[in-house]
Chains A and B, each alone.
Chain A
Amino acid sequence: ETGVTQTPRHLVMGMTNKKSLKCEQHLGHNAMYWYKQSAKKPLELMFVYSLEERVENNSVPSRFSPECPNSSHLFLHLHTLQPEDSALYLCASSLGTAQETQYFGPGTRLLVL
């Protein structure tokens, strides 16, 4: 349960705020992912990083900005969010990239007021 950690676990922000979500994996994995989980919707892939290079950007609005300084850390920088961005943001990692088990973090529950 401690292989992938995320901070903060809960975040409330106004639409004009700037905040960052942090993810850290202790599994020696090479790929990291950001997902958005909203009520009554499937898990939506936002970004994929492989060996610190972004390899997937799923048409995510520019108010979400990812950063992967090394293979163990992943950030999601947030600015001028909208109320519809309120959701659970999950980070995941996998050993390789193709068809590997993804291990999820506990998520950050984000509320945008």
Chain B
Amino acid sequence: GENVEQHPSTLSVQEGDSAVIKCTYSDSASNYFPWYKQELGKRPQLIIDIRSNVGEKKDQRIAVTLNKTAKHFSLHITETQPEDSAVYFCAASSGAQKLVFGQGTRLTINP
């Protein structure tokens, strides 16, 4: 089955700097890759997703890149702000109902 590895487990950046979180997956049939943000004490919420027919997708300060050959995808957050502090989860799906999640990255933005 699918296995998703996420790194780093914790990340601390200065406000205004960029943050990058990386995920690798094992199932070459996976073709849908969402990213979820979970603030402390709150539910996970989708922030961006990418499908395998594109290599990059951007939404304001957030971008996701996908390298299907290498089976890895990354989340990029630019001009970080305190409200970006949260746990971020990547996930991969091969078309069935099942999303396999990474272990999560705790991002802390230092003022």
Contact = CB atoms under 8 A, between A and B. Distances in A.
B99 interface: yes
Interface string B68-82: 000000000000000
A105 B38 CA distance: 12
B97 A48 contact: yes
A42 B98 contact: no
Interface residues of A, number: 23
Contact of B97 (A41, A55, A105): A55
A98 B99 contact: no
Interface residues of B, number: 24
Nearest to B104: A42
Given A43-B44, A55-B97, A90-B43, 16 more contacts: A33-B97, A41-B103, A42-B89, A42-B101, A42-B104, A45-B98, A48-B97, A56-B98, A90-B44, A97-B96, A98-B32, A98-B95, A98-B96, A101-B34, A102-B99, A106-B43
